[in-house]
Chains A and B, each alone.
Chain A
Amino acid sequence: MYQILSRVAMDLRYTEQEQTFRAELRAWLADVLPSVAPEPHRDDWKNRRVWDTGWQRMLFDAGYAGINWPKEYGGRGATPTEHLIFLEETERMRAPYVGMNFVGLLHAGPTLVAEASTEQKAHHLPSILKGDHVWCQGFSEPNAGSDLASLQCRAIRDGDDYVITGQKIWTSFAHIADYCEMLVRTDTEVPKHRGITWLILPMDAKGMDIRPLRTMEGSTEFCEVFFDEVRVPVANRVGDENDGWRVAMVTLSFERGTAFVSEMLQSMELVRDLADLAKKVTRNGSAAWDDTGLRRDIAHLSGELDALWSLTKRNISEAQRTGFVGVGGNVFKLAYSELRQRLGELSLRLLDRASLSLDDVHELPTGKHVHGRIHALSIGIAAGTSQVQRNIVAERTLGLPKDR
């Protein structure tokens, strides 16, 4: 027979402390959001920068910048659950999204916190938190996508500088960023993972050619960057020479299960809207919602999203307990990518010929569903394709042998 040792139980509700955090945040958002200017057009980069960094400054002044960063580096030191609440409330109250502060706040910044020198931290961390500096990421290359470690962009030591020649791709916001976290090849004679170095590249360095890359959505946030003997001081290196792969991997360990919270909330709203739309539009003379197959498919997706929301809470709770997220993170991304594709397909099926317009047609709110469908095509590719994710799950979690 088993005995109950304690009264502690799994609990999906928020503690008093968490509720206070939410209430304060909500009050602050209600106070400041009316003063935020309307969102600029997606590709109006000059004004987007003003808007995104302005919001970051407001967060900083209110003590919400770097919500998950340690307090000693100017962050709030919030728990993963508080981070979840922050994302929930900002999304629900339609506050500006992290936008172009994404790389600095969620990727380069945490890496600097863990690996940079005292001088580098002092110089860069406050400016990221205040929104003074925008960062971009120079990791992927035309020949180094899923196999990132095979990157070839070359950096050769010349006195106190590295001289960089090569190409990067998928560099978000490169045309407006101030700094770039960059992986370069510093040794070609050793196994691929061991010849990589992590550098801080000032984006005003000479010898760079930045070209926008237009995505199938029509947006231009991604860029290709070409380097022709670009000089970067050795002092800008983070970690040791040839130790950059480890430095880059450290960043991945910061994930606390919160990466897709805003996305999830948007998807849940999208499914609710889709159900509403199905009740409004007709098919064969009656409401499309009366179609059993369509209705069941929408309900199934909505149930799956509830389950993924539960999985999100499970991952966040795991992070809170153990400091990291296990296989649940990969599981989430695989399930979510696949679900979003089906949601997108379903919305086009419902819209039928109304899906031929990217904007609302015939007084129906169709534009967001068409945009949502296109966006869904990217989720299973960005930040590790679903195929690579499956290899990771199979090899690291299930222990199946490597295919190499």
Chain B
Amino acid sequence: MDFWRTQDQEALQDGIRSFCQGRFPIESLQPIEATGGRLDRAAWRDLAGVGVFSLRHDGFSITDSALVFEELGRALIPGPLTATYLAATHLRTVLEGADSGERIVGLAQVAEPVTMAEHLLDLDSLLILQGDSIAVVDPNSVPTQVVERPLDPLTPVHVMLSATGGEIVATGDVVRQWCREGAVLTAAMQVGASFAAIDLAVEYAKGREQFGRPIGAFQAVKHMAADMLVKAEVARAATYAAAVNLDGNGDDDLDRAVSVAKMLAGDAALFCGKIGIQIHGGMGFTWEVNAQRYWKRAVVLDTHYGNSEMHADALAGSM
């Protein structure tokens, strides 16, 4: 047993982190919001250029991919990252160009009470996930209604008025595997966003002074920060475990491992987002400070591939 990052994995993750810091600095998010959350195709191609979408065909594992997606989540990079990655991995011949960044692929999961598509205006292909089948449709031809004020301005959304039709491109086991991988990579992004929220809050707590000392010296603040770290670290262990099992290097039940990861990573990201705002006090409630962006993204990601509560129910079903 060796459940610790290898040197290669450390180098991979560190490399992606520096790339994200250089190409997607956190300050670059606010201008994107001003455009209505439109994707920058050049930036998307740069993501493809470092190999984000083609990891699996380049021989990297699901665990390696989770480490990469943790960094994408940490940087709050907008766009249909998991859908394009999964299309490049599982639908390579059907949807050419996903791996090279030429084709931006989104995925809408048919859901109650509404089915929503993200980044619709920038998509080249839209996949519709319903039950155990995935169909592909032309994003310009589906009846939708734009959401004027999206919760996360970096994740523009449309309500899908109809989610039928299209050509079925995947069914059965492929879709089940797709959903497992999608859930784990989303969990990895949630873990990354959790740690970024912690870093921001800790930085603030060290510098902000009240009552004559940094607020981070007060135990009430310290304990909130420690609780954030506990949630994030536990979620990280669960996420890596699910990825390692999906790679075939574990003996756990796959669906159970995936549900544990998605459930706890969802809880962690929402918790760290919330407490990050609290530690910032009034500034945390402003548009300017990034604390709110982590929380908003956490809300978006929780709804991908089943939210925390749905995965708890799935676990109950397996007991």
> Real complex partners, A and B?
yes
If A6-B6, A395-B222, A402-B217 touch, whether A296 touches B234 (CB-CB below 8 Å) is no
Chain B contributes a number of interface residues (CB within 8 A of A) equal to 67
Q: Does A95 touch B at the CB level, under 8 Å?
A: no
Please tell me if the beta carbons of B2 and A10 are within 8 angstroms of each other in the complex. Answer: yes
Q: Does B245 touch A at the CB level, under 8 Å?
A: yes
Stretch at the interface among A142-150, A151-159, A300-308, A372-380: A300-308
Q: Does B285 touch A at the CB level, under 8 Å?
A: no
Q: Mark B119-130, 1 if CB is under 8 A from A, else 0.
A: 000000000000
Chain B residue, CB-CB nearest to A313: B3
Whole-angstrom distance between the alpha carbons of A11 and B108 in the complex?
A: 33
**Interface of B: prevailing SS:** helix
Which B residues are CB-close (under 8 A) to A321? Answer: 2, 4
Q: Does B225 touch A at the CB level, under 8 Å?
A: yes
Our pick among A10, A81, A308, A391 for the contact of B234 (Cβ within 8 Å) is A308
Our pick among A300, A314, A400 for the contact of B237 (Cβ within 8 Å) is A314
Whole-angstrom distance between the alpha carbons of A328 and B229 in the complex?
A: 10
Please tell me if the beta carbons of A302 and B319 are within 8 angstroms of each other in the complex. Answer: yes
If A6-B8, A296-B312, A403-B219 touch, whether A12 touches B244 (CB-CB below 8 Å) is yes
If A303-B264, A400-B202 touch, whether A13 touches B1 (CB-CB below 8 Å) is yes
Q: Does A310 touch B at the CB level, under 8 Å?
A: yes
Q: Mark A116-135, 1 if CB is under 8 A from B, else 0.
A: 00000000000000000000
Stretch at the interface among B89-97, B139-147, B250-258, B286-294: B250-258
Chain B residue, CB-CB nearest to A300: B312
Which A residues are CB-close (under 8 A) to B59? Answer: 4
Q: Does B315 touch A at the CB level, under 8 Å?
A: yes
Q: Does A249 touch B at the CB level, under 8 Å?
A: no
Q: Mark A295-336, 1 if CB is under 8 A from B, else 0.
A: 110111011101110110110111011000001100100110
Please tell me if the beta carbons of B4 and A10 are within 8 angstroms of each other in the complex. Answer: yes
Q: Does B84 touch A at the CB level, under 8 Å?
A: no
Which B residues are CB-close (under 8 A) to A9? Answer: 6, 61, 63, 244, 247, 249
If A302-B315, A306-B260 touch, whether A10 touches B6 (CB-CB below 8 Å) is yes
Residues of A376-399 contacting chain B, CB below 8 A: 387, 389-391, 393-395, 397-399
Our pick among A1, A292, A317 for the contact of B50 (Cβ within 8 Å) is A1
Q: Mark A1-19, 1 if CB is under 8 A from B, else 0.
A: 1101110111111110010
Query: Shortest distance in angstroms between B210's beta carbon and chain A's nearest beta carbon?
Result: 13
Q: Does B309 touch A at the CB level, under 8 Å?
A: yes
Whole-angstrom distance between the alpha carbons of A328 and B240 in the complex?
A: 14
If A300-B312, A398-B202 touch, whether A307 touches B260 (CB-CB below 8 Å) is yes
Our pick among A4, A302, A318, A390 for the contact of B8 (Cβ within 8 Å) is A4
Q: Does A191 touch B at the CB level, under 8 Å?
A: no
Query: Shortest distance in angstroms between B65's beta carbon and chain A's nearest beta carbon?
Result: 12
Which B residues are CB-close (under 8 A) to A402? Answer: 217
Query: Shortest distance in angstroms between A5's beta carbon and chain B's nearest beta carbon?
Result: 5
Please tell me if the beta carbons of B315 and A300 are within 8 angstroms of each other in the complex. Answer: yes
Our pick among B7, B50, B252, B264 for the contact of A304 (Cβ within 8 Å) is B264
Q: Does A275 touch B at the CB level, under 8 Å?
A: yes
Which A residues are CB-close (under 8 A) to B216? Answer: 394, 400-401
Please tell me if the beta carbons of B250 and A314 are within 8 angstroms of each other in the complex. Answer: no
Which A residues are CB-close (under 8 A) to B218? Answer: 403
Our pick among B229, B230, B249, B309 for the contact of A10 (Cβ within 8 Å) is B249
Query: Shortest distance in angstroms between A397's beta carbon and chain B's nearest beta carbon?
Result: 7
Which A residues are CB-close (under 8 A) to B264? Answer: 303-304, 307
Q: Does B316 touch A at the CB level, under 8 Å?
A: yes
Please tell me if the beta carbons of B1 and A313 are within 8 angstroms of each other in the complex. Answer: yes
Q: Does B41 touch A at the CB level, under 8 Å?
A: no
Whole-angstrom distance between the alpha carbons of A401 and B208 in the complex?
A: 12
**Interface core residue of A5, A15, A308, A403 (most chain B CB under 10 Å):** A403
Query: Shortest distance in angstroms between A252's beta carbon and chain B's nearest beta carbon?
Result: 19
Q: Does B223 touch A at the CB level, under 8 Å?
A: yes
Whole-angstrom distance between the alpha carbons of A8 and B1 in the complex?
A: 12
Chain B residue, CB-CB nearest to A308: B234
Please tell me if the beta carbons of B316 and A314 are within 8 angstroms of each other in the complex. Answer: no
**Interface core residue of A6, A15, A272, A335 (most chain B CB under 10 Å):** A335
Whole-angstrom distance between the alpha carbons of A387 and B261 in the complex?
A: 27
Which A residues are CB-close (under 8 A) to B60? Answer: 2, 4
Please tell me if the beta carbons of A310 and B309 are within 8 angstroms of each other in the complex. Answer: no
Which B residues are CB-close (under 8 A) to A394? Answer: 216, 222-223, 225-226
Q: Mark A329-348, 1 if CB is under 8 A from B, else 0.
A: 00100110000000000000
Q: Does B15 touch A at the CB level, under 8 Å?
A: yes
Please tell me if the beta carbons of B2 and A11 are within 8 angstroms of each other in the complex. Answer: yes
Q: Does B198 touch A at the CB level, under 8 Å?
A: yes
Our pick among B3, B217, B227 for the contact of A390 (Cβ within 8 Å) is B227
Please tell me if the beta carbons of B4 and A317 are within 8 angstroms of each other in the complex. Answer: yes
Whole-angstrom distance between the alpha carbons of A387 and B264 in the complex?
A: 23
Please tell me if the beta carbons of A398 and B251 are within 8 angstroms of each other in the complex. Answer: no
If A398-B202, A401-B216 touch, whether A10 touches B3 (CB-CB below 8 Å) is yes
Query: Shortest distance in angstroms between A273's beta carbon and chain B's nearest beta carbon?
Result: 11
Whole-angstrom distance between the alpha carbons of A350 and B49 in the complex?
A: 55
Query: Shortest distance in angstroms between B173's beta carbon and chain A's nearest beta carbon?
Result: 23
Whole-angstrom distance between the alpha carbons of A9 and B15 in the complex?
A: 18
Our pick among A306, A314, A400 for the contact of B4 (Cβ within 8 Å) is A314
Residues of B1-49 contacting chain A, CB below 8 A: 1-9, 11-12, 15-16, 49
Whole-angstrom distance between the alpha carbons of A5 and B311 in the complex?
A: 36
Please tell me if the beta carbons of A296 and B241 are within 8 angstroms of each other in the complex. Answer: no
Residues of A278-300 contacting chain B, CB below 8 A: 292, 295-296, 298-300
If A275-B319, A394-B223 touch, whether A11 touches B1 (CB-CB below 8 Å) is yes
Top 8 nearest A-B pairs (CB, nearest first) are: A299-B316, A394-B222, A12-B250, A307-B238, A310-B241, A390-B226, A400-B216, A311-B237
Known: A298-B319, A403-B218. 10 other contacts (CB 8 A): A12-B241, A12-B245, A296-B316, A303-B263, A316-B1, A317-B3, A334-B226, A391-B222, A393-B230, A398-B198
Binding site for A on B (CB under 8 A): 1-9, 11-12, 15-16, 49-51, 58-61, 63, 198, 202, 205-206, 213-214, 216-219, 221-223, 225-227, 229-230, 233-235, 237-238, 240-241, 244-245, 247, 249-252, 256-257, 259-261, 263-264, 309, 311-313, 315-316, 319
**14 contacts across the A-B interface (CB closer than 8 A):** A4-B59, A8-B2, A9-B249, A10-B240, A10-B249, A296-B312, A306-B257, A308-B237, A314-B3, A320-B2, A391-B219, A393-B226, A399-B202, A400-B225
